[in-house]
Structure 1
């Protein structure tokens, strides 16, 4: 006789236990919904684990495709540390890159910035809400981050860009070399100045933060089970997903799977132009007595150093490659010597580099809201480098939509309908 697995019934299934999925589960739970969170791994162990720890309140302009030919050629020829491409993969994403380039035109980028502003401007406050509830406010660092430069030309260009952002009410300081070393005494004179963005916040362990939010969800009666999102099926008016030892049923399901979201949506008839931008990190030990107080982006070097619980995290820029292809951490190998030029570092801490994949859409907006072909199917993914930043505010907006509450902003710019033509 075949043994039947027990069933778990809930109001909502949330697929994906990264920062977006956990935040959505918490906000739905706050609004009275019985939620089951499902992931193949533990909370915060995929893309949410490996970011720079920035809650990026100052990124009011999305990361667009460069418009000057010199930069495009440098990227295309893999001559820049901050962007690298697998030549075998590029032909597959040329249509996506073309759309990305068109959406990065000045007028389109300005519209994208306006659409994203309601999310960006609430990013820190929504994290503060969840951190307070989870008892994690002590992890929040309200010190901002520093954009640092090796050349006067780069600094002058960045200062002009910063001045153009004053209309958004952002707070920043232009630093010469002396001022930079007053804030970061152990950085070298290789860096001739920088911009200190003071509105963003940071955390020293992004994956640990997500686990802390997941613990709050569990303490409040939520359930977290391991399972396979690809088993998602519609059964009449319900959705089912197989966990390791049970069948989970609910009238609503949220796809919050980051770079794997399209794999679940495609069999249901949704063709979403999702491309991943892979990235790597490695923790390094600071030399005795050396302290880094802020995340520091070496703009000319093409990398970021961030003070983390495990040491100084060296994070890379973008790698265009197939999501599941073998790691190729050449950017780490290229930037580690550059990192040692600006800050006193010793050996590597991690046994091997970490690799993750950022889910990106060509119009630089996430998908948040209902899927039109299926009742009870909801989406929250595609945050284009800003998953940690926008996780809690996305969870709030989605929960407001799913519980028929008044939303704090118009969700139309994030609708999946824009890809349904």
Structure 2
């Protein structure tokens, strides 16, 4: 039976949830203070990562901790205030990254990742967004032959267990694919199945238009209140009240605040990230998305220019931007590729909503009938949005889900 549903949050996850529910005939309103795809989904690396079957664990080996401790790295930076604010969840994250726990988490995480391409495909087609998406994978480059060999061993295991296609690129193969790269490179891993998106924000916006074509409504405004009542849920948006049978909380890093207002607690923390666009100097051209694996940044040939993305910054969600990590990434990136001038005056900053067991929260909120959760995807919200939308719609309709949803339920905390 069709019912009124309000989806809060118009990033990749929220838009995908709304599209799936509208396709099933529900009366769906998608609400955000900004236009769809303008927050975290806007600024990511633009990869739909079929190869990302292993979540990022907290470093536990002494060599990595010693490297990170001086706080000068590109892949990870931390701020004391951010670490203190997230001390509890970070301690759980560290515990869950122990090999004995992590090995059990990987297949649960991989079960979601394996759905990503099949879930994005119909949405890309419905949105007419094929021109934004490429299907030729991305490159993970290495200078150290030993580290490349170790990564290739991981790739072989991922292929055997989870069907992740890859190929090894010798230095001459890499040079043929990316002649503008420089330095003494040992080679690369070519992740063949992943897709790349030339404008991530535009893809989310295209999905939002496809949602509207299904009869959905996009409402732009500030959510002032969310209240459960005898008829379901009452949501106040810019002072105007709307009633719905169900509410989906898909507000990314802001989901925790709203849960707390509703009397629920979730151990979320954020990993912030930065990007900047550049031109290319000396007639250089970048053909693929390229990650400098040993340093921790990624270069992506976007519509807006060459996007340079940093690793993670452990900091409070609303703290001011700190640009040192991006500056360090830029200096190292210029050693690999001839970046031109910056194309914007101010770097972009966003925040990834992360859970301490590295898995998102998908499903009903405990003790709050009609309140549903879709958040906490960490580094893979862009990859997993459509799969999350499809699975949550199945749950909300009382259908059997295509994978076991127990590992992603709120109650695990």
Please state which band the TM-score falls in when normalised by the shorter chain.
Answer: over 0.9
Shift of 1:91: 2.3
Q: Is the 8 Å Cα contact of residues 279 and 305 (structure 2) preserved in structure 1? A: yes
- 1:257 and 2:251 matched: yes
SS of residue matched to 2:277: strand
Match of 1:146 among 122, 130, 139: 139
Match of 1:297 among 291, 304, 323: 291
CA displacement, residues 212-240 of structure 1 (integer Å, 9 cap, x when unaligned)? 10111112221111233341111223211
Q: TM-score, normalised by structure 1?
A: 0.95
Shift of 1:301: 2.0
Shift of 1:246: 3.0
Q: Is the 8 Å Cα contact of residues 10 and 248 (structure 1) preserved in structure 2? A: no
Shift of 1:153: 2.8
SS of residue matched to 1:165: helix
Match of 2:196 among 183, 197, 202: 202
Corresponding residue for residue 108 of structure 1? 101
Q: Is the 8 Å Cα contact of residues 275 and 308 (structure 2) preserved in structure 1? A: yes
- 1:62 and 2:55 matched: yes
Q: Is the 8 Å Cα contact of residues 190 and 342 (structure 1) preserved in structure 2? A: no
- 1:212 and 2:183 matched: no
Q: Is the 8 Å Cα contact of residues 25 and 217 (structure 1) preserved in structure 2? A: yes
SS of residue matched to 1:293: coil
- 1:186 and 2:208 matched: no
Match of 2:65 among 67, 72, 77: 72
Q: Is the 8 Å Cα contact of residues 233 and 246 (structure 2) preserved in structure 1? A: yes
Match of 1:21 among 7, 14, 18: 14
- 1:343 and 2:337 matched: yes
Match of 1:315 among 291, 309, 314: 309
Count how many residue pairs are aligned between Structure 1 and Structure 2: 411
Q: TM-score, normalised by structure 2?
A: 0.96
Corresponding residue for residue 47 of structure 1? 40
- 1:388 and 2:382 matched: yes
SS of residue matched to 2:167: strand
* Greater alpha carbon shift after TM alignment, 62-71 vs 311-320: 62-71
Shift of 1:405: 1.9
Shift of 1:289: 3.1
Q: Is the 8 Å Cα contact of residues 276 and 320 (structure 1) preserved in structure 2? A: yes
Match of 2:75 among 82, 85, 95: 82
Corresponding residue for residue 110 of structure 2? 117
Task: Flag structure 2 segments of 5+ consecutive residues without an equivalent.
Answer: none
Q: Quick one: distance in 2 between partners of 1:248 and 1:52?
A: 35
Q: Is the 8 Å Cα contact of residues 224 and 237 (structure 2) preserved in structure 1? A: no
Q: Quick one: distance in 2 between partners of 1:189 and 1:413?
A: 43
Q: Is the 8 Å Cα contact of residues 81 and 316 (structure 2) preserved in structure 1? A: no
- 1:37 and 2:30 matched: yes
SS of residue matched to 2:379: coil
Q: Is the 8 Å Cα contact of residues 19 and 214 (structure 2) preserved in structure 1? A: no
SS of residue matched to 2:4: strand
Runs (4 or more) in structure 1 with deviation over 4 Å come to none
Q: Is the 8 Å Cα contact of residues 90 and 269 (structure 2) preserved in structure 1? A: no
Shift of 1:157: 2.2
Shift of 1:183: 1.2
* Greater alpha carbon shift after TM alignment, 148-157 vs 12-21: 148-157
Q: Is the 8 Å Cα contact of residues 147 and 299 (structure 1) preserved in structure 2? A: yes
- Given the superposition, is the C-alpha separation of residues 229 and 244 from structure 1 closer, same or farther in structure 2, using an over 3 Å criterion? closer
CA displacement, residues 101-160 of structure 1 (integer Å, 9 cap, x when unaligned)? 111122322221111222111101211110101111222211111111122232222122
Q: Quick one: distance in 2 between partners of 1:65 and 1:341?
A: 28
Shift of 1:70: 1.4
SS of residue matched to 2:245: strand
- 1:243 and 2:214 matched: no
Q: Quick one: distance in 2 between partners of 1:166 and 1:220?
A: 38
Match of 2:357 among 352, 363, 367: 363
Task: Flag structure 1 segments of 5+ consecutive residues without an equivalent.
Answer: 1-8
Shift of 1:378: 0.3
* Greater alpha carbon shift after TM alignment, 352-361 vs 72-81: 72-81
Superposition RMSD in Å: 1.5
Shift of 1:395: 0.2
CA displacement, residues 271-314 of structure 1 (integer Å, 9 cap, x when unaligned)? 10000000000001012532212111101222100110001000
Q: Is the 8 Å Cα contact of residues 50 and 113 (structure 2) preserved in structure 1? A: yes
